[in-house]
Amino acid sequence: MAERTLLQIVQTSCDELGISRPTTVVGSSDLQVRQILALLNREGKELSAREGLYGGWPQLRKEHTFDTADGTAAYNFPADLQYFMNTTAWDRSEEWPMHGPISPQTWQVLKSGTVGSVGPRTRFRVMAGQLYLDPTPTTVRAIVLEYYSNTWCEASGGTDQAVWTADNDLPLLPDDCFILGLKWRFRKEKGLDYQEHFNEYEDFVTSKLSRSSMAPIIDIASTPCGVRLIDEDNIPDTGYGGV
């Protein structure tokens, strides 16, 4: 959980930078404080989009579900979408994964060619800010996809946000990332040497991101979905390993 509010992040950063700490951030008329707020908004936007070995920040992962409607092919993205997670699109009503996202070329083959939309599985394409399904649904079905949200901070009441709006807002991502990110960005904007501060920031963010998700267990005998790799049922009794 975050330990510092926006104001506390700014004050800690200013202390480490050796500059005067403000008593308020949002709504301040001080040009330097306004610059600091803008840099922290930039930091939140870029930090939230980062990915590590096991994907992006788990704090920002969400599930998007919607029901299809008879004769409707296009469905809106979630309002806070940053990007979808690959291979998470499922038709829960039919209990099978959807094919996609299909390419523009394949889409035109389906829509403009002689083959047309055939087959039991639903396909999807991302286009014009919406998800397009093919074939066009004729029944109500439950569709689900997972995605990363673009909201990286929250109000004191718990409402997710994509920008700081009050001094008591809290980050959804590690607050030290914001402090270190502000320090190198501030020095860069002031024309000062920032490389050492940037390197410290990169090392810290990489470490935090890599530890934010649990690593999957790789078992030579099975996988989490129950598919056997090597066990007594698929190794011959003799004729392997020099036996």
Distance CA 207, CA 209 (A): 6
Q: Do 83 and 126 share a domain, yes or no?
A: yes
Kindly indicate the confidence band of residue 30, based on its pLDDT and cuts at 50, 70 and 90.
Answer: very high
Q: Do 80 and 51 share a domain, yes or no?
A: no
* Count of Cβ atoms closer than 10 Å to residue 14 Cβ: 19
Q: Do 86 and 137 share a domain, yes or no?
A: yes
218 in a domain, yes or no? no
217 in a domain, yes or no? no
160 in a domain, yes or no? no
The total number of structural domains in the chain stands at: 2
Kindly indicate the confidence band of residue 19, based on its pLDDT and cuts at 50, 70 and 90.
Answer: very high
Query: Which tens digit of pLDDT belongs to each residue from 147-197?
Result: 999 999 999 999 999 999 999 999 999 999 999 999 999 999 999 999 999
Cα angle: 227, vertex 228, 230; to 5 degrees? 155
Q: Do 89 and 71 share a domain, yes or no?
A: yes
219 in a domain, yes or no? no
Percentage of the chain lying above the pLDDT 70 cut: 85
Query: Which tens digit of pLDDT belongs to each residue from 103-123?
Result: 999 999 888 887 666 667 889
Kindly indicate the confidence band of residue 6, based on its pLDDT and cuts at 50, 70 and 90.
Answer: very high
93 in a domain, yes or no? yes
Query: Which tens digit of pLDDT belongs to each residue from 74-106?
Result: 999 999 999 999 999 999 999 999 999 999 999
42 in a domain, yes or no? yes
Q: Do 129 and 73 share a domain, yes or no?
A: yes
Strand-pair partners of 75: 131
- What pTM was estimated for this model as a whole? 0.82
- Domain enclosing residue 46, as ranges: 6-55+173-211
Q: Do 94 and 135 share a domain, yes or no?
A: yes
89 in a domain, yes or no? yes
Confidence at residue 113, expressed as pLDDT on a 0 to 100 scale: 83
Contacts of 69 (CB under 8 A, 6+ apart): 137, 140
For residue 48, what are its two tokens? 């939230």
Q: Domain boundary at 100, 116, 149, which?
A: 149
Average pLDDT, the chain: 89
1 in a domain, yes or no? no
Average pLDDT over residues 217-240: 59
Percentage of the chain lying above the pLDDT 90 cut: 75
Instruction: Please determine, for residue 236, whether its predicted confidence score (pLDDT) is greater than 60.
Output: yes
Confidence at residue 110, expressed as pLDDT on a 0 to 100 scale: 87
Q: Do 190 and 145 share a domain, yes or no?
A: no
Q: Do 202 and 127 share a domain, yes or no?
A: no
Average pLDDT over residues 121-145: 93
